Structure 1
Amino acid sequence: MARRDARNWHDCSKMIGLLCLVASILIQHGVSGQRVKVEPEVLSYPGQTVNLRCAFTDATGIQLTMITWIYEPKEGERINIAVFHPSFDPSYPADSPVKGRVSFMPSAPNLASPSIQISNVRMTDEGKYICEYATYPSGNEQGITYLVMLAKPQNSASIVSVVAGTQPVVVARCESADGRPAAHITWVTAASGNDTTVSKTGTDDMVTVSSEYRMVPTPADNGKDLSCVVVHRTQVKPESFPLKLAVQYPPQVKIVGYDNNWYVGRTNVLLTCEATGNPTPVTTQWKTMSGEKPDTVVITENVLKVLKVDDAVNTTFVCEVKNRIGIGRDQVTVIVREPSVNPSNAGVVAGAVIGSLLALLLVAALIAVLVTRSRRQQLGYRANGGGDMKTRIFGAGKNGGGASSSSGVGGGNNNGPVYVYDESSSHQGLGEKNNHHQPLTIGGRPEVVASAPTAQDILLSNELDDAERRKFDELEAEERYDHFTGGAPILQLRPPHDQDDMIGDYMDDDMESQRDGSVISRTAVYV
């Protein structure tokens, strides 16, 4: 058991020793790397002088013996370009690519600060520069500086004028020439296309970058914005070149002005030929399908004016526009219509018709009112006058008072024949009534019963003047019924059956009350 523990302890001791050795090596390497101080990167343009600084910051316990500057190009092997030993003068190897242009600074270098400078630098001088110290007992320690050669490029961009087509073509170019490092080119546009970019290395490793923008050009792309943007390390910000696409295309023509309401007699109507194209159209020509221009048509450049529309304008007008690329045309067919009614005249006519109708309605209403009033006056005269017109006409005395006389003095002879006025009869005259009727008796005497008013009644009541009325009254006085000694027979139309029961039914159905209090028959009259 003790042997096994001793063996494990021995293995752990060996592992710990190995780890300590590795740690010490890493620490020593890190310390040495930090003790040689250099600039990580130096930028320069061709023709300038650059300073490559180097220093050993802490030489405690270390003996510095020699300094060597080494140049390592991007492609190739390392080359010593400068060597300094305190016991000897500075040395610059003959095979150095910077021979004659490199030197220590100051002219009397020291081991603590062995910086160098390179004058009139070239693009080929770009690469890795190593400052290496030979020390004792640490060995060699170094620091690395990258020399980056810059060349500000010449940037440019241009548009390429193309003709509208169906195949992709180059519409713009952008170039960044003789730059170092290579520039980066991008395109910004709303047009649909893509770009291709190539780089070419020239003298002194200068790089030229060229980019082309390709697309299928259409007339709609003409004038669209297109920008080339160049990004380079020597520029504070990207450089932009705004461009506009130049797409050539034949004229696109459109005729405007026809409203489909050209009627005979209309004047001063216009057709305008609008055209766009690249290059700008130079000629405009109006034609007709028939080949003849109407006499009322006047043409001024792209405007066709019709002084007065007639049947000759009923044709197809064609407008042709030309430019260097081709010809564009448009046409419009005119349909001449019949003259339309002037809306203002139609309004006047409609107003006159409506006014006439209203006037007629007003006159008709006035006539109706007058007729109604006249009829009411006629009824009032017969009912409230000195004597009933029907009674007077058919033989009653003026002062008899009709059926309302209670004394019987001056009363008419009511024994005359009775006639019935049948209102429902198509003959509108006197006739025999089919039903049995008896004369109306009031106070033991038969009364005169008048029928509905006739045209004669109205004539006598409205159109006779006072003299004629007096003459009529005198004539009536001579023929009063009471002058007759014997009563005239009364004609009564009765049904042939059941005459005894007729009176009651007849009285109930035929009697009508009057305004003066009398009751008369609707159909029985005295002749």
Structure 2
Amino acid sequence: MDGAASFCGSFCHNIPSICDSALLRVLLVTLSLLCADVEALQVIGGSVTVEQGSTAILSCYVIDTNDDLTQITWQRKTREKPHNDNFLTILPREGAQFVNGDDDRFKYIGNFNNKNGTLQLSNVALKDEGRYTCIFTLFPSGNQKTEIPLNLLVPPFTNIKDNLPTLGTEEVLFATCTAAGSKPPAEVRWLTGALRDKMRTTTNSTQYDNGTTTTVSSLFGLPMREINGHQVQCVISSDSLTKEETLPFNIQIYFSPTEVNIRVITEDSFECVTEANPNANFTWSR
């Protein structure tokens, strides 16, 4: 406890023997009531988690006290400002005032008379993530405060990249599925169905200084003609996504024509037939 709270704590537990006098007994009763009031006082806050780009409400208010409020101070310790920084004060007449430069994304939406210091922060960015401290200057209790952690969720950018494998007898990379820039890290997995015994996967993650993570899952197998055209799925899940994201992928095994046949359709028409992926281009000559 600050201010009167500290005084109450020491006085109420360390009364000398002269407290037997009537005057000091009255003083003791008065200070005991003050101690009880300070102990009942609470600063209400709480952790806040929002998605990047949305609006965060940093709720902070005092309950169970009749003390006079003289000032509300906001401090922050964030990715952008790693040292504790006083950035906003709220006074009964002047209202909200920035200390070191304005930031229009912050808006005071509390009520000073109700001892409510709540802030609104719009367009939240990764640089804003950190711990915010709400300090109420009360008389006679002194400074009372609470910390409000602000956590961000960042949905990943997702895609599948075809590695363009060609027909062969050795294992190759078919495709990579990427969940980039996610916070917290995303889980990436493949659903291969009937091909599960013919496929294997690997997953790697890279974490960046801004707290985001890129996860890449790779799909491997033998590039056989019989699996050409089969569909598999890449499934991406994360606390930053409202639901799992599923990306379908058709396995393509690329091969050139190996056999060409000419069929007679009628007496004056012919058909050239071959198999290739992608489809072959035909040139006739005579």
TM superposition score category, shorter chain reference? 0.5 to 0.7
Residue in 2 aligned with 1:104? Answer: 108
Alignment of 1:426-505 (within 5 A): none
Alpha-carbon contact 1:86-1:111 (below 8 Å) kept: no
Residue in 2 aligned with 1:117? Answer: 120
Residue in 2 aligned with 1:59? Answer: 65
Is residue 45 of structure 2 the alignment partner of residue 41 of structure 1? no
Q: Tell me the secondary structure at the aligned position of residue 92 of structure 2.
A: coil
Q: Pick closer, same or farther for the CA change 1:280–1:142 going to 2, 3 Å.
A: farther
Is residue 237 of structure 2 the alignment partner of residue 237 of structure 1? no
Shift of 1:205: 6.7
Alignment of 1:154-233 (within 5 A): 154-189=157-192, 190=196, 191-199=198-206, 201=208, 208-233=214-239
Q: Tell me the secondary structure at the aligned position of residue 217 of structure 1.
A: coil
Alpha-carbon contact 1:159-1:173 (below 8 Å) kept: yes
Residue in 2 aligned with 1:80? Answer: 86
Q: Tell me the secondary structure at the aligned position of residue 110 of structure 1.
A: helix
Residue in 2 aligned with 1:94? Answer: 100
* One-letter amino acid of the structure 2 residue matched with residue 215 of structure 1: G
Aligned counterparts of 1:240 and 1:145: Cα–Cα separation in 2 = 35
* One-letter amino acid of the structure 1 residue matched with residue 88 of structure 2: A
Alignment of 1:284-299 (within 5 A): 284=261
Structure 2 gap segments, 5+ residues each? 1-12, 15-34, 266-272, 278-286
Residue in 2 aligned with 1:131? Answer: 134
Aligned counterparts of 1:161 and 1:51: Cα–Cα separation in 2 = 48
Aligned counterparts of 2:104 and 2:191: Cα–Cα separation in 1 = 48
Shift of 1:240: 1.0
Aligned counterparts of 2:79 and 2:123: Cα–Cα separation in 1 = 20
RMSD (CA atoms): 4.0
Aligned counterparts of 1:282 and 1:239: Cα–Cα separation in 2 = 41
Alpha-carbon contact 1:157-1:241 (below 8 Å) kept: yes
Name the stretch that deviates more: 173-182 or 234-243: 173-182
Q: Greater RCO between the two (CA within 8 Å, min separation 6)?
A: 2
* One-letter amino acid of the structure 2 residue matched with residue 226 of structure 1: V
Shift of 1:171: 0.7
Larger Rg: 1
Q: Pick closer, same or farther for the CA change 1:136–1:174 going to 2, 3 Å.
A: same
Shift of 1:159: 3.4
Shift of 1:238: 0.5
Shift of 1:246: 2.4
Alpha-carbon contact 1:37-1:56 (below 8 Å) kept: yes
Alpha-carbon contact 1:158-1:243 (below 8 Å) kept: no
Aligned counterparts of 2:144 and 2:256: Cα–Cα separation in 1 = 72
Alpha-carbon contact 1:124-1:205 (below 8 Å) kept: no
* One-letter amino acid of the structure 1 residue matched with residue 190 of structure 2: W
More helix by share: 1
More strand by share: 2
Give per-residue Cα distances to partners, 1:56-112, cap 9 Å, x unaligned.
11114x4544322121215722212212243765331116xx634323225x73361
- TM-score, normalised to structure 2's length? 0.63
- TM-score, normalised to structure 1's length? 0.37
Aligned counterparts of 1:223 and 1:135: Cα–Cα separation in 2 = 72
Aligned counterparts of 2:176 and 2:203: Cα–Cα separation in 1 = 10
Alpha-carbon contact 2:201-2:217 (below 8 Å) kept: no
Aligned counterparts of 1:156 and 1:165: Cα–Cα separation in 2 = 26
Is residue 145 of structure 2 the alignment partner of residue 142 of structure 1? yes
Alpha-carbon contact 1:130-1:145 (below 8 Å) kept: yes
Aligned counterparts of 2:47 and 2:126: Cα–Cα separation in 1 = 19
Aligned residues: 232
Residue in 2 aligned with 1:69? Answer: 74
Give per-residue Cα distances to partners, 1:259-300, cap 9 Å, x unaligned.
xxxxxxxxxxxxxxxxxxx56754259xxxxxxxxxxxxx98
Shift of 1:41: 1.4
Alpha-carbon contact 1:153-1:179 (below 8 Å) kept: yes
Residue in 1 aligned with 2:281? Answer: none
* One-letter amino acid of the structure 2 residue matched with residue 103 of structure 1: K
Alpha-carbon contact 1:71-1:129 (below 8 Å) kept: yes
Aligned counterparts of 2:96 and 2:230: Cα–Cα separation in 1 = 65
Alpha-carbon contact 1:82-1:103 (below 8 Å) kept: no
Alpha-carbon contact 2:181-2:213 (below 8 Å) kept: yes
Alpha-carbon contact 2:79-2:128 (below 8 Å) kept: no
Q: Pick closer, same or farther for the CA change 1:111–1:222 going to 2, 3 Å.
A: same
Shift of 1:239: 1.0
Q: Tell me the secondary structure at the aligned position of residue 246 of structure 1.
A: coil
Q: Tell me the secondary structure at the aligned position of residue 67 of structure 1.
A: strand
Q: Tell me the secondary structure at the aligned position of residue 77 of structure 1.
A: coil
Shift of 1:180: 4.2
Shift of 1:214: 2.9
Residue in 2 aligned with 1:283? Answer: 260
Q: Percent identity?
A: 23
Structure 1 gap segments, 5+ residues each? 1-16, 19-26, 249-277, 286-298, 302-320, 326-527
* One-letter amino acid of the structure 1 residue matched with residue 100 of structure 2: A
Give per-residue Cα distances to partners, 1:149-182, cap 9 Å, x unaligned.
3444332224333124454432112123454444
Alpha-carbon contact 2:48-2:56 (below 8 Å) kept: no
Give per-residue Cα distances to partners, 1:161-209, cap 9 Å, x unaligned.
312445443211212345444432112221331223333659x876544
Shift of 1:324: 6.2
